[in-house]
Structures are given as structure tokens and as C-alpha cells.
């Protein structure tokens, strides 16, 4: 994200680091070089002054890209200067040390809407030379922050001398921060990292979820997560252990000197394997029947598979490096015309290919071992799954099926009896009700024809051939003669 031209992203990183340094001044663990030795900033008298380059930004935008909305989102190149002093002769103040923080956002690239590049070695030197020189006899700690990052060769400028100490801080590609400084300051460099511990734990757990496919057939090493998140190995190991405790079915264990996260096995928990729902009698039966042996076997095989998988992955990396070296030797052979050099390269390639063959054979053995362990583990998991299912026997299934058939037959008989006893009642009006109904219709202004049409609730008489002949004289008879 640090190569994005999004102005708001760089402004957020700028505010984050400056606010963190302001809080860090009150941290009793943070010490800096002073004229009286290493001193705690929280206990020293200090004067803090903040600034920025907002005026220069406004002038630049008025000349290149006038945009008030964009100006509100732009980083302003904030600075922070803290001066530390002690009392001298009870009246005067003597400066013993200084701390300066300078943020270098990629302003020009953002205004051009271009992806910013990390600061090169020459550009970093130019920025350092533009800073005010240190006071005579007063050590200065310079914190240079680039929201677009530093080039790898620029990291060599992070050094410590008697006059000044340079610390380089940059966002990294994994979403966190990287701090570069002298090895003599390794104890406090992590204090310059503004990322909270809770956010780091979330990133570590997200990396574990991203590598979740490795848990199906192997394990996840803390070293691999540390490389992916660019976080210290100790912090990663602590989070991995906590993640394993909170996640059922996962276990973290140090095997061959590396902390691995792997599955305990998919054997179910419950009454069949000594779960919480097991009664005291069932526990005693399980104890005497030695049913717990499979659980121990599953745990052992899970650990063994995790260790073998790590060995296989390490062997894959070694073969890859050897193949890359072979490719480099081929290029060197083509680039050299000297016979002596080509013979030397040929001898090297012969030995290299023999070593590749050995590593390939080792990979074959490791894959076979993983296959055997995985098959044995799978069989034990199937066995435990079958015991935990508590499925009914064939006699119970047959008895329940017969009872179900009897119930369905009785239900069918009851339904047929209910259908045969049901009758349809046709409601009609009596002769007196019919007469009164016609009188009421006449009084309301409606004729008898309407009354006859509305009194059609009586059942119709069946149509006889005589009535049909009378109502439809043009209808033919069954013999085809006209009526």
C-alpha cells in the first residue's frame, strides 16, 4: 500500500507515527543519548515543538494542481522536535539532548497521481543534510519517516555516532511498520513501531487463516508466519500458542527447534472417546478396554506428520536453490570462452547434479513416509468416527420400520373411512320463505324475473330426453332422424 498515490493513506500514516512518538516520550522504557549518558525521556525536562510544511504544500498546489478537496487530504510533512534539559546553578537550563522526527511524504507523486517509489540512498542523504546540524556537545536522535518507504541500500544510513543517531521508519508491505537502526539500539527500536499489539495479533491470525490449507496435510511454522507478517518471531510464537489454545482441534508444539501449529486429528470427542458427556460407568469401561490408545496414536501421528512435512518443505527449498545455482552455472558457461573455465564449471555442475539427485531421493522417502503416516492416521480417525456415531443395529432398524408400516396402514384406513362418511348438504328455501322473498323483491322495485334468477339455489331436475327434445327442437335423435 505504500506505493499508492492515495493522499489520505499517506496522511493517516503521517498522523499515526507523529502521535505515537508524542506518546512514546512518556514511556519510561524509551531512552536516548544525551551529554550525560543514556537518559529516560519520561523523567527529563523537555520542550516539544511541532511543525509542518503546509505553507510549502499550498504554494506547490497553487502552481501545479489547485484542488481544495485534495489539499484537505494531503500529508503536510509534519515535524516534531523535543529538547531535553537539566537545571544548571538552579536558574539556567542546560540542553543535554534532542529528538527530531521528520515525515517525508511523496507529495509530488501524489499530485501527479503516480505510484511513488521508495526513497533512494542519494535522496535520503539529501534529506538528512537538509536537517539542522546538531548542537556542539549535544547528541541528537533523528527519526526519519518515509510513508513511501526506503530503498534497501538506504537502510545503511541508520547508524549511531557520538553526535547523532539515525533511525529510519517506514510502512511495510504486510500492513505494519519496519524500523531500521544501529544494532546498539536493538533494545528500543521496537518502541518506534506505532502499530498496537492487538492489531499485530490480528494480522498474525489472518496470516494463519491464509495458510490454513497447510494444516490439512502438514503444519504451519511460526517462522513462515513471521516472514509473511514481517513481525518479530517471539511475538508470532506467542500469538500462535494463544491461537492454538482458543481453537479446538489445533495444537502448537516445538518440534526440531521450531514452533509448529498442526491439527490434533479429526477424531470426534464425546462418549466414545472420553468426552464430557461420558458417564462414570462408561469411563471405567473405557479405562479397562484400553480405548484411549487410539487417541494417543492419533496425537503421535499428527505430530509425526507435521514434522515430516516441515522436513519435506525444507528439502524442496534446498532443491530449488541447487537448481537455481545450476542455471547460473549454465549462464556462466555460455558467457565464458575459456576452456579452463568451462571445464571447471562442468565439474561443478556434475557434482551439483549428483547432490540434486540425492535431495530428490530424500524427497521421495519423505513423501512415502508422509503417505504411510497419513494413511495410518486416516484409518484411526475412521475407527474413532465409527465408534462415536452410536448407530442403531439392524434389528432395531427392522423393528422401527415394521412399526412405521403399521402406523401408515392404520392412517390410510382412517382416512378412507372419513371420506366415505362425509355428506354434502344443500341448503334451500321453503315455499313460505320463497313467497316472502318475492314479495320483498317486488317492494324493493325488482321484478319477478330477477327473483326467479336469484332463487336458483334449489337443485336442478335431471334432464330427460323429452325435455331436451322440447327445449331444442333442432336436435337429432340417436338414429340420426330430425326431431
Is pTM, for the whole model, over 0.85? no
pLDDT in tens, the chain (483 residues): 678 889 999 999 999 999 999 999 999 899 998 888 888 888 888 899 999 999 999 999 999 889 889 999 999 999 999 999 988 776 778 889 999 999 999 999 999 999 999 999 999 999 999 988 888 889 999 999 999 999 999 999 999 988 899 999 999 988 899 999 998 888 889 999 999 999 999 999 999 988 887 776 678 889 899 999 999 899 999 999 999 998 887 888 888 788 988 887 544 344 333 444 455 455 545 544 554 577 777 777 777 788 888 788 888 888 888 888 888 888 888 888 888 888 888 888 888 888 888 888 888 888 888 888 888 878 877 777 776 666 777 887 888 888 888 888 888 888 888 877 755 444 567 788 788 878 878 877 765 554 444 444 444 444 444 444 444 444 444 444 443
Q: Delimit the domains of the chain by residue range.
A: 7-194, 196-263, 270-388
- Cβ neighbours, 10 Å, residue 58: 14
Judge whether 244 and 261 are in contact, CB under 8 Å: yes
Fold of 196-263: Arc Repressor Mutant, subunit A (1.10.10)
Alpha helices (H) along 102-221: 107-111, 121-129, 197-210, 214-217
| β-sheet with 79-88: strand ranges across | 45-51, 79-88, 92-104, 140-146, 164-171, 177-180
pLDDT at residue number 217: 67
Residue 225 three-state SS: helix
Phi-psi region of 370 (alpha: psi -120 to 50; beta: other; left: phi over 0): alpha
- Cβ atoms 221, 310 nearer than 8 A: yes
Candidates 1.20.120, 3.40.50, 1.10.3210, 1.10.10; CATH matching 270-388: 1.20.120
Q: Is 135 left (phi over 0), alpha (psi -120 to 50) or beta?
A: beta
Q: Is 327 helix (H, G, I), strand (E, B) or coil?
A: helix
Q: How big is the chain by its Cα radius of gyration, in Å?
A: 44
Query: What DSSP letter does each residue of 420-472 carry, written as one string?
Result: HH---PPP---HHHHHHHHHHHHHTT--HHHHHHHTTTSPPPPPPHHHHHHH-
Alpha-carbon span 395 to 398, nearest angstrom: 5
Where does 196-338 have alpha helices with state H? 197-210, 214-217, 222-229, 233-246, 280-289, 292-335
Using CA atoms, how far residue 235 sits from 185, 259, 289, in Å, is 19, 12, 44
pLDDT at residue 290, as a whole number: 52
Main-chain phi, psi angles of 336, to 5 degrees: -110, 135
Give residue 279's pLDDT. 55
Q: What is the DSSP letter of 41?
A: T
- In this structure, the number of other CB atoms found within 10 A of the CB of residue 256 comes to 10
Residue 387 three-state SS: helix
Amino acid at each position: 500500500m505504500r506505493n499508492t498515490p492515495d493522499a489520505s493513506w499517506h496522511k493517516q500514516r503521517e498522523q499515526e507515527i507523529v502521535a505515537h512518538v508524542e506518546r512514546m516520550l512518556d514511556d519510561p522504557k524509551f531512552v536516548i543519548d544525551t551529554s550525560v549518558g543514556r537518559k529516560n525521556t519520561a523523567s527529563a525536562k523537555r520542550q516539544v515543538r511541532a511543525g509542518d510544511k503546509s505553507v510549502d504544500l499550498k504554494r506547490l498546489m497553487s502552481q501545479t494542481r489547485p484542488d481544495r478537496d485534495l489539499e484537505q487530504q494531503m500529508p503536510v510533512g509534519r515535524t516534531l522536535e523535543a529538547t531535553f534539559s537539566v537545571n544548571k546553578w538552579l536558574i539556567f537550563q542546560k540542553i543535554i539532548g534532542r529528538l527530531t522526527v521528520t515525515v517525508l511524504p511523496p507529495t509530488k507523486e501524489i499530485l501527479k497521481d503516480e505510484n511513488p517509489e521508495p526513497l533512494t540512498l542519494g535522496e535520503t542523504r539529501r534529506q538528512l543534510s537538509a536537517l539542522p546540524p546538531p548542537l556542539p556537545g549535544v547528541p541528537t536522535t533523528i527519526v526519519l519517516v518515509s510513508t513511501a518507504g526506503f530503498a534497501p541500500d538506504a537502510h545503511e544510513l541508520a547508524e549511531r555516532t557520538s553526535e547523532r543517531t539515525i533511525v529510519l521508519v517506514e510502512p511495510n508491505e504486510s500492513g505494519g511498520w519496519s524500523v531500521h537502526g544501529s544494532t546498539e539500539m536493538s533494545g528500543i527500536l521496537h518502541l518506534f513501531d506505532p502499530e498496537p499489539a492487538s492489531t499485530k495479533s490480528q494480522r498474525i491470525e489472518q496470516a494463519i487463516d491464509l495458510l490454513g490449507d497447510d494444516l490439512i496435510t502438514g503444519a504451519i511454522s511460526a517462522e513462515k508466519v513471521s516472514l509473511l507478517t514481517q513481525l518479530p518471531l517471539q511475538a508470532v510464537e506467542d500469538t500462535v500458542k494463544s491461537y492454538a489454545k482458543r481453537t479446538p482441534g489445533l495444537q502448537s508444539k516445538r518440534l526440531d527447534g521450531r514452533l509448529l501449529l498442526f491439527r490434533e486429528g479429526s477424531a470426534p470427542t464425546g462418549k466414545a472417546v472420553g468426552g464430557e458427556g461420558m458417564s462414570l460407568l462408561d469411563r471405567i469401561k473405557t479405562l479397562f478396554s484400553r480405548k484411549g490408545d487410539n487417541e494417543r496414536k492419533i496425537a503421535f501421528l499428527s505430530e509425526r506428520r507435521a514434522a515430516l512435512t516441515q522436513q519435506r518443505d525444507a528439502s524442496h527449498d534446498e532443491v530449488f536453490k541447487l537448481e537455481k545455482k545450476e542455471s547460473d552455472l549454465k549462464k556462466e558457461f555460455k558467457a565464458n570462452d575459456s576452456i579452463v573455465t568451462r571445464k571447471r564449471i562442468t565439474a561443478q555442475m556434475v557434482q551439483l547434479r549428483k547432490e540434486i539427485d540425492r535431495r530428490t531421493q530424500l524427497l521421495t522417502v519423505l513423501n512415502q513416509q508422509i503417505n504411510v503416516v497419513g494413511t495410518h492416521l486416516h484409518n484411526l480417525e475412521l475407527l474413532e468416527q465409527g465408534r462415536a456415531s452410536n448407530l442403531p443395529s439392524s434389528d432395531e432398524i427392522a423393528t422401527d420400520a415394521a412399526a412405521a408400516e403399521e402406523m401408515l396402514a392404520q392412517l390410510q384406513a382412517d382416512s378412507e373411512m372419513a371420506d366415505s362418511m362425509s355428506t354434502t348438504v344443500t341448503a334451500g328455501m321453503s315455499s313460505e320463505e320463497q313467497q316472502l322473498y318475492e314479495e320483498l323483491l317486488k317492494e324493493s322495485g325488482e321484478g319477478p324475473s330477477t327473483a326467479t334468477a336469484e332463487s336458483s339455489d334449489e337443485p336442478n331436475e335431471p334432464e330427460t330426453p323429452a325435455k331436451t327434445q322440447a327445449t331444442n327442437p333442432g336436435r337429432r335423435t340417436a338414429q340420426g332422424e330430425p326431431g
